[in-house]
């Protein structure tokens, strides 16, 4: 009995070791994004985790994570992915890099690192040539493309030639947490064709366009604890965006409006409708605090808002009744 018991213990320990070895994080020691890409493709079929050591990893090509169950984990601000001069590429693509992804990718995680898009040393917003159907990949810090149950956590993106982080083409149930972005050529965070996702602990400042831009079927998403400041157009730009909620939102020093709702061109079916903003402070905007620009932007709500010294006023509506206003203070 004792012998059989010892054998059982040995086999149990061996099984545990083998299992932990299969899931153990592999460290990427060579400081290039090509080395990271190679390590991703060397992971087992079931996926795995890669650890990036402190230091600067230079990217001449994007890191494409197009496999399920892959985690890319840095060591905080000590891990920097920097786009090389004249690379003209995204830094990370979560999902397929083809023009329109032919399949979804699931359970990808990017955690605990910084990304420098090095925009002052790039020449093109899109990879390969002028933005078009032939060259659809914009040079974002992170592009999330048809990704399901994917996560970005404790990541800072700055200096991208296009947007900081962009979700698109059928994303579902994303978790974007503790994300900071600044000094990008366009928006700090942009969302297209994205649903049922959560964005929390978001800090966006000093971007050359909007803090947040949502457009094209951006529906049923939730934002918590968001700070947006000093962006060169509006704090939040929304079109074709339905039933999203923002809680504990602070917007200040937008060059234009704090929040701007509209429809796409002359199509009233593409308006920003049914969105709720709760516990909001909008201060020192160069235009309106909140502008509902088109009569199609119906059923939006502000709850417990403070509007402070916005240059052209607090709330403006294309027609009366677009914004249900509960407990707002305008000063």
**How many domains in the chain?**
1
- The list of the chain residues with pLDDT below 50 reads 1-3, 5-23
pLDDT, tens digit (0-9, with 9 covering 90-100), for 90-100: 999 999 999 99
Question: Does some domain include residue 123?
Answer: yes
Q: How many CB atoms lie within 10 A of CB 308?
A: 15
Q: Which CATH number do you get for residue 90?
A: 2.160.20.10
295 occurs within a structural domain: no
Structural domain harbouring 174 = 27-209
Q: How is residue 52 written in tokens?
A: 């990036």
Residue 125 in contact with residue 138, Cβ under 8 Å? yes
Query: SS3 of 268, please?
Result: helix
Query: Is residue 14 a part of any domain in this protein?
Result: no
- Structural domain includes residue 176: yes
- The answer to whether residue 115 is domain-embedded is yes
Can you give the pTM of this predicted structure? 0.92
Long-range contacts, 23-27 (Cβ 8 Å, 24+): 23/48, 23/49, 24/48, 24/49, 25/49, 25/50, 25/51, 25/71, 25/73, 26/50, 26/51, 27/51, 27/52, 27/53
Quote the pLDDT of residue 24: 62
Residue at 260 is within a domain: no
Does 92 fall in a domain? Answer: yes
Question: 37-71 pLDDT, tens per residue?
Answer: 999 999 999 999 999 999 999 999 999 999 999 99
Within 10 angstroms of residue 70's Cβ, the number of other Cβ atoms is 22
Predicted pLDDT of residue 18? 36
Residue 177 lies in a domain: yes
Q: What does the alpha-carbon distance between residue 117 and residue 122 come to, in Å, rounded to a whole number?
A: 9
d(CA 152, CA 107): 11
Bridge partners (DSSP) of residue 192 are: none
């Amino acid at each position: 009995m004792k012998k059989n018991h010892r054998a059982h213990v040995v086999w149990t320990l061996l099984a545990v070791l083998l299992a932990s070895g299969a899931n153990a994080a592999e460290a990427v020691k060579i400081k290039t994004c090509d080395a990271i890409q190679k390590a991703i493709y060397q992971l087992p079929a079931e996926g795995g985790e890669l650890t990036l050591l402190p230091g600067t990893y230079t990217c001449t090509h994007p890191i494409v994570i197009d496999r399920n169950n892959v985690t890319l984990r840095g060591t905080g601000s000590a891990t920097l992915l920097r786009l090389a001069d004249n690379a003209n590429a995204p830094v990370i693509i979560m999902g397929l890099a083809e023009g329109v992804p032919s399949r979804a990718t699931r359970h990808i995680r990017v955690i605990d690192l910084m990304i420098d898009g090095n925009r002052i040393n790039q020449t093109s917003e899109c990879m390969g040539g002028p933005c078009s159907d032939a060259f659809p990949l914009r040079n974002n810090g992170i592009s999330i493309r048809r990704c399901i149950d994917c996560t970005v956590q404790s990541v800072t993106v700055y200096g991208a030639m296009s947007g900081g982080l962009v979700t698109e083409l059928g994303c579902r149930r994303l978790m974007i947490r503790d994300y900071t972005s600044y000094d990008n050529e366009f928006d700090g965070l942009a969302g297209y064709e994205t649903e049922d996702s959560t964005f929390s602990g978001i800090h966006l400042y000093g971007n050359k366009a909007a803090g947040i831009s949502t457009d094209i079927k951006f529906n049923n998403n939730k934002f918590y604890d968001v700070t947006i400041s000093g962006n060169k157009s509006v704090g939040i730009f929304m079109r074709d965006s339905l039933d999203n909620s923002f809680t504990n939102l602070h917007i200040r020093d937008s060059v234009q409006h704090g929040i701007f709702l509209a429809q796409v061109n002359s199509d009233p079916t593409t308006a920003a409708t049914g969105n709720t903003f709760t516990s909001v402070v909008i201060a020192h905007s160069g235009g309106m605090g909140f502008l509902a620009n088109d009569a199609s932007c119906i059923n939006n709500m502000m709850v417990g808002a403070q509007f402070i010294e916005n240059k052209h006023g607090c709330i403006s509506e294309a027609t009366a009744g677009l914004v249900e206003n509960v407990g707002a203070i305008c000063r």
